[in-house]
Amino acid sequence: MIIIGENINTSRKPIGEAVEKRDAAYIREAARRQAAAGAHYIDVNAGTFLDREAESLCWLVETVQGETGLPLCLDSPNPKALSQAMERHRGEPMINSISLEKERLDSLLPVVTSRPCRVVALCMAQTCLPTTVQDRFDAGVRIIRALTGAGVPARNIYVDPLVQPVSVDTRMALAALGTLRRITDAFPEVHTVCGLSNVSFGLPERRLINRTFLALAAAHGLSAVICDPTDWQLMATLLAVEMLLDRDEYCGNFLDAYQDGRLAPGR
């Protein structure tokens, strides 16, 4: 499972303040902790800065890559901010995200084909958020074809099935899980990704719900997850999940983690 560390997001108060003040030390520590916890990508998001998003995102890219050699996941709905940030990025970034919404597709397609990168592709068409597995799958097929048609290799595409809250409609987790299964069956080379927090919006004990959803999603073919790698319970769940899905020879990682005390509280 590819882990994309989600903590450097300016909508979180301390991160927002650190970016505002250009407190590089704070951001570097946030990056270091996630890298140490096993992140493969570090997500950076300065969406709350509105007009100043591009410059803040660029500063984040430089600051984080000053601390860690990990590739970044450039997270923004703003094509300008994304392309500027991409220019600053050393190595192959992940672009979060593209969708079938016309403006977004038109402005981002040239960006994601300008140099090697991974692309998060949302199963979302123009008119409204999808409600069924079929809607999502159809949108997924179209965005995959749009990207591969433009020259993006299938293995660089990370399809996001769009997880919606079960508090509003108790069928929503199944809709995302069904989509993961269909996409991975139809396109074995394509990767899948999702965030964990949407599913529990509007409910208490969100971490419990989120880490349980991770287990379900992994069993339905999820290849990458956007999450907080410093959440030890989540990472412990992931270790158990990988082992249960026969991805841990001799249960080695799980037992190492146990020996290190990473499966228990008080770390």
Partner 1 sequence: METLGALKEAVIKGDIQKSTTETGKALEAGVAPQDILSQGLIGAMDEVGERFAKGLMFVPQMLRSAKTMQECVGLLKPHFEEGAVVAAGKVLIGSVKGDLHDIGKNLVAMMMEGAGFTITDLGVDVSPEGFVEKVREVEPDILGMSALLSTTMPAMRETVQALESAGLRDKVKIMIGGAPVTEEYARQIAADAYAPDAGSAIAEARRLLEV
The footprint of partner 1 (CB under 8 A) covers 11, 47-50, 53, 77-78, 101, 103, 124, 127-129, 164-165, 167-168, 170, 201-204
**Maximum CA extent, the chain:** 52
Nearer Cβ to partner 1, position 102 or 145? 102
Whose Cβ is closer to partner 1: residue 128's or residue 259's? 128
Is the sign of the CA dihedral 219, 220, 223, 229 positive or negative?
Answer: negative
Q: Which is nearer to partner 1, 165 or 195 (CB)?
A: 165
Residue (103 or 260) nearer to partner 1, CB: 103
Q: How far is the CB of 202 from partner 1 (least distance, A)?
A: 3
- C-alpha dihedral over 145, 39, 15, 198, to 10 degrees? 50
Shortest Å distance, C-beta 182 to partner 1: 22
Of 37, 115, 50, 110, whose CA–CA distance to 77 is shortest? 50
* Residue 260 backbone dihedrals phi, psi, to 5 degrees: -80, -5
Return the sign of the alpha-carbon dihedral for residues 111, 118, 197, 11.
Answer: negative
- Supply the minimum distance, in Å, between the C-beta of residue 86 and partner 1: 17
CB 171, min distance to partner 1, A: 13
